[in-house]
Amino acid sequence: MRAIRTSWSAALWVLLSVVASTATAQQVDRSERPVAPPSPAFAFPHVATRTLANGMRVAVVENHAVPVVAVRIVLPVDSVADPRGKEGLYWLMLSMLRDGTTSRTPEQLAAAMAELGTTVSPTSFTTVTGNYVAALNLMADMVAHPAFSPSAFTVRQAARVATVQRQLQLPISVPRRIMYTTLFGPEHPVARSANATEESAKAITLDDVKAFHARYVQPQNLTLVIAGDVRAADAFEAATQAFGAWPRSGEAFVPRELPAAPAPQPTTIFLVDRPGATQTNVASAQLGPAITSSDYTPLTMMGTILGAGQLSRLMQNLRARHSYVYSAALTQLLWRNAPEPSLLQGLATLPTAKTDSAMMEWVGELRAIRGDRPPTEDEMSAARAALITSLPTQIETMDGVADRVALLARNKLPFDFDNRVAATAAHLAAGDITRVAQTYLDPTHTVFVIAGDRKAIEPALRAMNIGPVVVVDEHGSPLP
C-alpha cells in the first residue's frame, strides 16, 4: 500500500508541475489588445479550359481536398429569350429535359440515379469522384437527346401554369410586376420574362419547346464546368467521351442586343389600392450597369453600405431606430446576366400607419449617400471586409467553385475576375462610393410602386411631395 501511495504522490507532483509550467507559459500582457495577422490574399483557383471538336467549351478546376466532383452546364440564354406571348418557354424546355431521353425512359433515368446515389439534373450534379463519369453520361443524354414526349409536355405545362398562379398570390408580386413594366416598358424582354402570365404559359406548344432546344442547346453554345477531385486531363477525356459524339448543329449563338430601356422618368409613386390592408408592400428600383461594368466593385460596396445586411444604413434607420420594418431587402443591388442591366432594387413590407414615415426615411438615405453623408471610414472598412471575405466563402465547397465558374463563364467574365474585385476593393475610398452613387442612384428618377389601403395612405403619400401619386390597377394601368 505504501508503494501505491508513493506512486500516486509522484504522479500528482508531476501533474502539478506541468500545470504550473503551462500556466506560466500562457501568461500574456493583457494591457494591449492583440493584433490579428493580415488575411492572406485572395486567389481564385486555376481554371483549365479546352474546346471539344464539336465546339463545347470545358472548364476544369482541380481540388483534391475531398473525393467530390461538382459539374455544371452553362446555357447561353435564360428566360429573357422567351418569344413574345410565350413567356415561360425557357423554363418549360429546361424542365422537360428531365423527362426521359430517346434511349431512357424517366423510370430508367431515376433507376440509374438511384444506383449512383446521385440526383443528376440536365445542368447540375454533385457526386463522389468514383461516380462522376457515369453521372456525366446521364447528364449528356438528357441535354443532347431529350425525348420531349407529349404526355410529359402536358404535365410540365400544367405545372408552369400553377407556378405562375402561386406567384401572383404573393403580396409583393403586383408591385414587383408593375415596377418591371415601368422600368423597361411592357414589351421589353426583361419585363415580359418577369411578368409571365397563365395565358403565355398556355400558349406554348411542344413544337415551341423543340425549336427552342434546337436553336440554343447545341454543343457549340454550351460550357461544361467540372470542379473537384479530378485531374484536368482525365476530366477533358471524360467530357469528350460523354459529349464528343454530339454533332454540332446550326450556328454559334451570338447574343442579341437588348432594346434600350426607356429614359428614367421623374420619381412617381404608383399606388395599388388594397382596401383594409394592415400592411403596405413597396417595390422600388432604378436601372444600373451590367455585371461587366468597371464599376462592379464600388457599386457592390455601395449596396452593402446602403441596404444589404443588418448593419446597413437603411436597416439601421428603418428597423433599429424607428421599428418601421422587421426585415426587408432595401435597395439591394441585383446583378443580372449580361447584357441585361442590374437593378438597384428595394422591396419592403411596412405597417400601414407608418408607410409615409418609412418612405421619407428611405428616400432620405438615398439622397444622403450621394454626398450629403458620405460613407464613414468604419462603413468603408465593413463593406470592404464584407466583400473580400465573401469571396472565399463563395468557393469553400465544390458546389461553390462550380457555381462561380459557371457564372463567370455565362457572363464571359475572366476567370480571375474575383481576384481583380478583391484588389480593387482594397484601394477604394469613400469618394469612389459617392461617385457611383451620384452616377447610378438618383432619388429624383426612381420608380416606387406601393400596394396598400389607399384610403389610409394616399393623403400622406401626396403630402410627402416625393413625386406625383398615380393610382393604378393591378396591371399598372392608371385609374380615373
Indicate whether 238 and 329 sit together in one domain.
no
> pLDDT (tens digit, 9 = 90+) per residue, 148-169?
999 999 999 999 999 999 998 8
Higher pLDDT among residues 252 and 185, named by residue: 185
pLDDT in tens, 353-368: 999 999 999 999 999 9
Domain end, chosen from 210, 243, 276, is at: 243
For the chain, give the number of residues.
480
Separation between Cα atoms, residue 299 and residue 293, nearest integer Å: 10
The answer on 410 and 307 residing in a single domain is yes
Identify whether the C-beta of residue 347 lies closer than 8 Å to the C-beta of residue 275. Answer: no
Q: Are residues 228 and 328 located together in one domain of the fold?
A: no
167 within domain boundaries: yes
Total domains, the chain: 2
Q: Is the predicted pLDDT of residue 3 greater than 50, yes or no?
A: no
Lowest mean pLDDT across 34-43, 89-98, 111-120, 249-258: 34-43
How many angstroms separate the CA atoms of 73 and 97, rounded? 13
Q: In what order do the strands lie in the sheet with 329-334?
A: 329-334, 343-351, 279-287, 447-452, 268-273, 469-472
Q: What is the pLDDT of residue 251?
A: 78
pLDDT at residue 16 in the model: 53
CATH code (residue 182): 3.30.830.10
In this structure, the number of other CB atoms found within 10 A of the CB of residue 155 comes to 13
* Residue with cell string 463519369: 133
Report if pTM > 0.85. yes
In a domain, 445, yes or no: yes
Using only C-alpha atoms, the chain has a radius of gyration, in whole angstroms, of 28
DSSP SS3 for 134: helix
Query: Whole-angstrom Cα distance, residue 448 to residue 455?
Result: 18
Note whether residue 84 is domain-resident: yes
If asked whether residues 210 and 289 sit together in one domain, one would say no
Asked if pLDDT for residue 283 goes beyond 60, the answer is yes
Q: Is residue 13 part of a domain?
A: no
Q: Does the pLDDT value for residue 1 go beyond 50?
A: no
If we measure between CA atoms, which residue out of 331, 317, 337 comes closest to residue 437?
A: 331
Same-domain pairing of 237 and 346 = no
Helix (H) or strand (E) holding 345: strand 343-351
Question: What span, in angstroms and rounded, lies between the C-alpha atoms of 399 and 124?
Answer: 10
Q: Which domain holds residue 238?
A: 48-243
Compute the mean pLDDT over every residue in the chain, rounded to the nearest whole number. 91
**4 has a pLDDT exceeding 50:** no
Residue 193 and residue 134 share a domain: yes
Residues 6+ apart with CB under 8 A from 145: 101, 102, 103
181 and 229: one domain?
A: yes
Domain contains 467: yes
Please tell me whether residues 113 and 220 are part of one structural domain: yes
pLDDT above 60 (res 128): yes
